[in-house]
Structure 1
Amino acid sequence: MRVLVVYCHPVETSFASAMHQEVLRNLRAAGHEVDDCDLYAEGFNPVMSREERLGYHDVPANRVPLQPYIERLERAEAIVFCFPTWCFGLPAMLKGWFDRLLMPGVAFDISDPANVRPMLRNIKRISAVVTYGRPRWMAWYMGDPPRKIITRYMKRLTAAQARVDYHAHYHMNVATEAQLDRFKARVGAAMAAFR
């Protein structure tokens, strides 16, 4: 399977970085073709410009600024997101990836605004590996936007056909080494069995 891994964290010594490497290692060992999109390493610009916003609905001209990223997304059969939750949301760079890339003519067809149609039918599988600084109950109280974006919004863009799983480690601020090791092992096993 062609798997696009979208990773977002600026620090190479972080737990998120270790999880990113665990994801890559196990997907490759399972025989998948992996496209590793490290947003910080690639210098992805998360800011939608005035010109991009004005041309947002101008299909296909809206694709021009992001064509290489769009091609990677359209080539993928699966996506694995790997990121921390900051302020109960996506990191700004990853939010910018969603804002700029998931647009008309790429993620959905809005030619009939009353009947928007999903276009990411090439994506059959979605997964996420996510960390939170606070406990699960607090993320739930805040509405857990990252979980909803991955498990609801992304799934909707595939016409609800993609299988989705969400691997979350809550309360990183007080996590023990043993807890982190167990989470890493659980994610590694999930990626090794990824289908």
Structure 2
Amino acid sequence: MRAHVLYAHPVETSYCAALHSRVVDQLAAAGHEVDDFDLYAAGFEPLLSRAERLAYHDIPDNRQTVSDCVDRLLAAEALILVFPVWNFGFPAILKGYFDRVFLPGVSFRMEDGVVQPNLDNLRRIVAVTTYGGTRLRAWMMGDPPRRLVKRLLNVTAPNARVSYHALYDMNRADDRRRSAFLDRAGHAMRTI
């Protein structure tokens, strides 16, 4: 399977970086073709420009500034997201990726004024993430990242099986819990 990994963390020595490495290594070990995209290392510009917004509905011109990202997404059979949850949301760089790449004609299309999903190429969507707070605290806030992955992304790729793997209460996780979650993330990649 062609797996497109989107990674969003600025610190190469972070626990999230260890998760990213485990995800990529285990996908490759399972025989998947891995297209790894480290948004920070690539210097991805998350800001949707005025010109991009004005051209947002102009297909196919709307994808000119992000054509490489669009091509990589459309070539994938699996989309794997590795990111921390900050302030109950995606890191800004990952949110910016969705704003700039999930465009009309890419992630959805309009048919008679009705939005239709367009990422028929995706068979799997997997998120691997960490939260500083507890699951209860995230639930009380509505857990926006989980909702976006399980609902919004699934709406753009309705044939994809979606899974969400989260280590909650990272701020108090000991070595045993962190190691167990690394193993869980690795196992999830071997079984996509």
TM class by shorter-chain length?
A: over 0.9
Segments of 5+ residues of structure 1 without an aligned counterpart are none
Task: State the partner residue of 1:3.
Answer: 3
Segments of 5+ residues of structure 2 without an aligned counterpart are none
1:186, 1:166 → 2: CA distance?
11
Mapping of residues 60-71 of structure 1, within 5 Å:
60-71=60-71
Alignment-mate amino acid for residue 166 of structure 2 = A
Alignment-mate amino acid for residue 177 of structure 2 = Q
Task: State the partner residue of 1:175.
Answer: 173
Alignment-mate amino acid for residue 89 of structure 1 = G
Q: What are the Cα deviations for residues 154-183 of structure 1, in whole angstroms up to 9, with x where unaligned? A: 11101x211011000001111101100011
1:164, 1:116 → 2: CA distance?
20
Q: Give the TM-score normalised by structure 1.
A: 0.97
Task: State the partner residue of 2:75.
Answer: 75
User: How far is the alpha carbon of 1:53 from its aligned partner?
Assistant: 0.5
Aligned match for 2:164, one of 159, 163, 166? 166
User: How far is the alpha carbon of 1:189 from its aligned partner?
Assistant: 1.1
User: How far is the alpha carbon of 1:111 from its aligned partner?
Assistant: 4.7
Q: Does 1:87 align with 2:110?
A: no
SS of residue matched to 1:187: helix
Mapping of residues 25-174 of structure 1, within 5 Å:
25-113=25-113, 115-158=114-157, 160-174=158-172
SS of residue matched to 1:116: strand
2:91, 2:178 → 1: CA distance?
21
1:130, 1:190 → 2: CA distance?
13
Q: Give the TM-score normalised by structure 2.
A: 0.98
2:126, 2:156 → 1: CA distance?
14
1:8, 1:182 → 2: CA distance?
21
User: How far is the alpha carbon of 1:35 from its aligned partner?
Assistant: 0.1
User: How far is the alpha carbon of 1:112 from its aligned partner?
Assistant: 2.6
SS of residue matched to 2:65: helix
SS of residue matched to 2:106: coil
Q: Give % identity.
A: 52
The size of the alignment, in residue pairs, is 192
Aligned match for 2:191, one of 177, 190, 193? 193
